[in-house]
């Protein structure tokens, strides 16, 4: 103020910060589901524009083929056959994987007896065993179910076994401090701590089951999505072949959604990084 009076200059007017309007942004933040769907929709658009019926059928032709098979009931029959085989194989594979993981993870004698043998079997190519499985079980449903069970057992075993052995020793010591015996530690500390690893193995097992079924149903099968694709190959029906691949993809996505749902329900106690 003194400087202003000395120079005789008028003081600059004060500016009200609240009166300043920030420029409006033209970008609208879309909901996350819409943003996640943007990539697949763009891919579908490019596919429709570049699709060729002789090399790769466009999405419109694939949808038309799916509608045609659904109306005749043929699609439902083949889909039910594939789902039944995968469900039976997964039930056997998951049960065996969990059983072996618990025995090897909780007991050193179980580890010495099982782990090395399972590691050797895990290195064998699952689909390479197909001729041998056909010789053992014939060409019916059993070899397909056996292959799925064999291929899905190892992801469950490996991840569950690692999760059991990876339980923090401090949690075990805390349980012992509170008076938990061996059975109590297994029930309340070790097995709950192994659930995240089991769910990781389950996710890999679900994906592996459909990969195995694609090949198994194309050999000595009379029903299933793989059989439908094999028949379409004889008639150069790329629309039905792509339809079968899309069905496998949707089933795989549904399996992943199921595992994520189980994670939210079973792992409510775990708070991890959710992304920036």
Query: DSSP H helical segments within 56-141, as ranges?
Result: 59-72, 74-106, 108-122, 130-137
* Maximum alpha-carbon separation in the chain: 109
Per-residue tokens: 15: 């500016």
Range of the domain at 195: 58-265
Q: What is the pTM of this model?
A: 0.78
Predicted confidence at residue 73, as pLDDT, reads 92
Helix, strand, coil share of the chain (percent; to 5): 75, 0, 25
CB 207 within 8 A of CB 255: yes
Between CA 103 and CA 188 the distance in angstroms is 17
CB 93 within 8 A of CB 152: yes
Predicted confidence at residue 22, as pLDDT, reads 56
10 Å CB burial of residue 224 (0-12, 13-18, 19+) is: buried
Q: Is 209 domain-assigned?
A: yes
Q: What's the distance, CA 243 to chain centroid? A: 20
Q: Is 46 domain-assigned?
A: no
Q: Is 64 domain-assigned?
A: yes
Q: Is 52 domain-assigned?
A: no
Q: Is 214 domain-assigned?
A: yes
Specify the CATH number for the domain of residue 187. 1.10.3720.10
Average pLDDT, 10 consecutive residues per value, the chain (276 residues) = 50 53 59 76 85 80 93 94 94 96 92 93 86 83 91 95 88 78 80 89 92 82 89 87 91 87 79 55
Q: Is 228 domain-assigned?
A: yes
- SS3 sequence of 187-236: HHHHHHHCHHHHHHHHHHHHHHHHHHHHHHCCCCCCCCHHHHHHHHHHCC
Q: What domain count does the chain have? A: 1
Phi-psi region of 138 (alpha: psi -120 to 50; beta: other; left: phi over 0): left
Q: Is 32 domain-assigned?
A: no
Predicted confidence at residue 151, as pLDDT, reads 92
CB 97 within 8 A of CB 205: yes
Q: Is 219 domain-assigned?
A: yes
Predicted confidence at residue 209, as pLDDT, reads 92
């Amino acid at each position: 103020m003194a400087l202003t009076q000395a120079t005789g200059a008028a003081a600059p007017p004060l500016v009200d910060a609240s009166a300043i309007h920030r420029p409006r942004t033209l970008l609208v933040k879309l909901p996350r589901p819409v943003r996640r769907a943007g990539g697949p929709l763009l891919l579908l658009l490019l596919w429709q524009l570049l699709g060729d019926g002789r090399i790769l059928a466009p999405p419109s032709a694939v949808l038309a083929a799916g509608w045609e098979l659904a109306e005749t009931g043929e699609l439902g029959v083949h889909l039910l056959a594939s789902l039944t085989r995968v469900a039976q194989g997964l039930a056997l594979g998951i049960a065996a994987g969990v059983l072996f993981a618990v025995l090897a993870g909780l007991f050193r004698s179980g580890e010495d007896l099982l782990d090395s043998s399972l590691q050797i079997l895990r290195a064998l190519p699952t689909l390479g065993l197909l001729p041998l499985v056909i010789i053992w079980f014939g060409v019916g449903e059993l070899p397909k179910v056996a292959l799925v069970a064999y291929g899905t057992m190892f992801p469950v075993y490996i991840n569950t076994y690692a999760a059991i052995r990876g339980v923090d020793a401090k949690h075990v010591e805390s349980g012992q401090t509170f008076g938990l015996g061996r059975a109590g530690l297994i029930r309340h500390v070790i097995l709950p701590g192994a659930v995240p690893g089991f769910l990781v193995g389950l996710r890999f097992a679900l994906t592996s089951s459909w990969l195995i079924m694609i090949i198994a149903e194309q050999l000595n099968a009379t029903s299933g999505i793989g059989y439908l694709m094999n028949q379409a190959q004889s008639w150069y029906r790329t629309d039905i072949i792509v339809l079968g691949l899309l069905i496998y993809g949707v089933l795989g996505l549904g399996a992943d959604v199921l595992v994520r749902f189980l994670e939210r329900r079973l792992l409510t106690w775990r708070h991890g990084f959710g992304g920036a």
